[in-house]
Amino acid sequence: MNEIRTPSEKDGFICDLLIISDDVAGEKMASPGIRAWEISRSLSREFRVILAIPEYSPGAKDLGGLGDRSFEIVRYSVQDPGPILEIGARSRIILTQGYVLSKFPGIKDLPAYLIVDLYVPFPLENLFVHKWKVPGLKDREFIHQNDLRVYNEQLLRGDHFLCASGNQKSLFLGSLLSLNRINPEILDTTPSLEDLISVVPFGIREEDEAPGPPALRGVVPGIGAGDIVLIWGGVITNWYDPETLLRALDAAVRKEPRLKLFFLAKRHPNPLLPEFDLANEAVRLSDELGLTGRHVFFNEEWVDYRRIGQYFREADIGVSIHRTHFETMFSFRIRLLEYLKYGLPILCTRGDYFAALVDREGLGVTVESGDREELTQALLDLAAGAEERKIMKSRLAGVKPRFYWNTVVEPLRIHCRKVLAGEVRKKRLPEAGELARIFPAGREKAVAGAGRRLLWKLLHRLPFGLMTRIKRLLSPFR
């Protein structure tokens, strides 16, 4: 374990890298907090890192229980932005995520090199969250417009961007192009755009936690030593499909009563987030089908980060069933990484990054969205195929090292080195007049005419024979 370092005051900077988590971090944390924590942990082996977390993050003040860190932690308050802006002003690089730039707009005016982590495409997720929470279409459109404002502001202000997959990179490159962040100037200096965006997937810890006391078998009433345990490794957010899973399980347990399904959490660890509607719907349906307490079990609270591995170790199969929609193709299901880490054969819906990995590497079984019969059969096949599950576990062990945090963070580490060495500088941001916009009425013909005149001038610079042939081809369009 590296010794905890306090950043020095050399050259007026107190750290090389300030990482600001938009979500709680510490003893209880969901994916944004875990990502900020683990990136801080990995990069602090080489750089001076400060991690800023919300003041309401649960756990002890010093977070000593996670004591494998070599970075400093500070807590911030949105109501009092002064301290975080002061730290940011004395940081060489700032890495933000989520709504951080919206909460602290002063960060945009600091001289630090700004890296924006876009791995959660929140405008897409919120389309489905607000469909349940906000009754009126007009109100949902207002919220969506605000999400887009926050999203576009990040794209306009960042010097470098992070995403989690190739699909996400395509999405964000399209957005960057539409905002003129991809332009002749930047392509002249970095044609591959590697200095603009890096693929940094979510990762897993290379080290295993020390085994703890049993968490499921013999502890949760109804889950015994001989049962086949399916684990749902997180909250039931509004883009998942617990209904199809529960109805499929209801059919499967009539043939295989040893099947048990454990939902790891009903509530998110961030106290500011409301309950998820689908979580309550899942409980209602499970009760209605008579599964609760017999074949389906709901853990009420979020599990401590240090203890979460014990639940996965006692499970047999990791499950993630979602609906196929716009969010799917750009998602990066973090819970499936936990299944990968702990060697759990994966049962998931087709259509996203991880489903393609599962199919390609033979890590489990994928099913079509909403197909209850196919899902029922997959549950029965996995339950009966103990030997096949062992083969899947060996394949999972082979894939796992690709996702170790130190491996996935390497593109970011390399980029930070270049920034700190002065090889990459802050980008020139487009001014308002340089942003693509619709021409006012009446100007389209003038612009089109100017374009045609320029084309004809260029043609006259070509050899006479070639110019004549091209003119003949283009004449119908004059």
- Least reliable range by pLDDT among 116-130, 189-203, 304-318: 116-130
> What integer pLDDT is reported at residue 235 of this predicted model?
79
Q: Which residues contact residue 290 at a Cβ distance below 8 angstroms, ignoring those fewer than 6 apart?
A: none
Of the CA atoms within 13 Å of residue 245, those in its CB half-sphere come to 30
Q: Which of 240, 269, 274 is nearest to 23 (CA)?
A: 269
pLDDT of 20 over the 60 cut = yes
Q: Which two tokens stand for residue 356?
A: 């393609």
DSSP 88-134: HHTEEEEEEETTHHHH-GGGGGSSSEEEEE-SS-HHHHHHHHHHHH-
- CA-closest candidate to residue 182, choices 163, 162, 156: 156
Task: Establish how many alpha carbons lie within 13 A of residue 207's alpha carbon, considering only the half-sphere containing its beta carbon.
Answer: 9
> What is the chain's length?
478
Q: Inform me whether the pLDDT recorded for 85 exceeds 50.
A: yes
Q: What is the mean pLDDT of residues 302-310?
A: 81
Work out the average pLDDT over 326-351: 86
Higher-pLDDT residue of 212, 463:
212
pLDDT at res. 7: 42
CATH of domain 10-203+406-420: 3.40.50.2000
Find the DSSP H helices in 362-409.
372-384, 386-399, 405-408
Tell me the range of 27-31, 130-134, 409-413 where mean pLDDT is highest. Answer: 409-413
Using CA atoms, how far apart are residues 326 and 318, in angstroms rounded to an integer?
Answer: 24
* Two tokens, residue 199: 């693929």
Q: Do domains 10-203+406-420 and 228-403 have the same CATH topology?
A: yes
Give the pLDDT band (50/70/90) at residue 29.
Answer: confident
Q: What is the CATH number of domain 228-403?
A: 3.40.50.2000
Where in 207-325 does DSSP place strands (E)? 228-232, 259-263, 296-298, 317-320
Segment among 39-53, 195-209, 405-419 with least mean pLDDT: 195-209
Q: Where are the domains of the chain?
A: 10-203+406-420, 228-403, 441-477
Q: What is the mean pLDDT of residues 320-327?
A: 81
Dihedral-angle region of residue 442 (phi above 0 means left; psi in -120 to 50 means alpha; beta otherwise): left
Distant-in-sequence, close-in-space partners of 168: CB < 8 Å, separation ≥ 6: 118, 119, 121, 199, 330, 332
- What are 210-236's pLDDT values in tens digits? 777 899 999 999 999 999 999 998 878
User: Which amino acid, 103?
Assistant: K
Q: Please state the pTM of the whole predicted model.
A: 0.81
Give the burial class of 385: count Cβ atoms within 10 A of its Cβ; 0-12 exposed, 13-18 middle, 19 or more buried: middle
What pLDDT, on the 0 to 100 scale, is given for residue 466? 54
Q: How confident is the model at residue 67 (pLDDT cuts 50, 70, 90)?
A: low
Burial, 419: exposed, middle or buried (Cβ in 10 Å; 0-12, 13-18, 19+)? Answer: buried
Which pLDDT tens digit goes with each residue over 433-455? 666 554 444 444 444 454 455 55
Cα separations in angstroms, 164 against 25, 185, 253, 360, 418: 20, 26, 37, 19, 21
Tell me the C-alpha distance between 80 and 88, whole Å.
14
More confident: 257 or 471: 257
Say if CB 258 and CB 227 are below 8 A apart: yes
pLDDT for 478 beyond 90: no
pLDDT tens-digit map of 409-423:
999 999 999 999 999
Average of pLDDT values for 388-405? Answer: 96
The 8-class DSSP code of residue 439 comes to P
For residues 106 and 81, the answer to whether their CB atoms sit within 8 Å is yes
Question: Nearest-CA neighbor of 436 among 156, 143, 167, 196?
Answer: 156
Q: Tens digits of per-residue pLDDT, 235-263? A: 787 778 999 999 999 999 999 999 999 99
User: pLDDT value at position 474?
Assistant: 53
φ and ψ of 356, to 5 deg: -65, -40
* Among 351, 354, 321, residue whose Cα is nearest residue 337: 354
**What percent of the chain shows pLDDT beyond 70?**
83
Tally: H helices and E strands in the chain? 18, 13
pLDDT at residue 132 tops 80 = no
The 10s digit of each residue's pLDDT in 94-122 is 999 999 999 999 999 999 999 999 998 88
Residue 471 in this model has a pLDDT that exceeds 50? yes
DSSP characters over 205-262: -SSPPPP-S-SSTTTSTT--TT-EEEEE-S---TTB-HHHHHHHHHHHTTT-TTEEEE
Q: What's the gap between Cα 411 and its chain centre?
A: 16
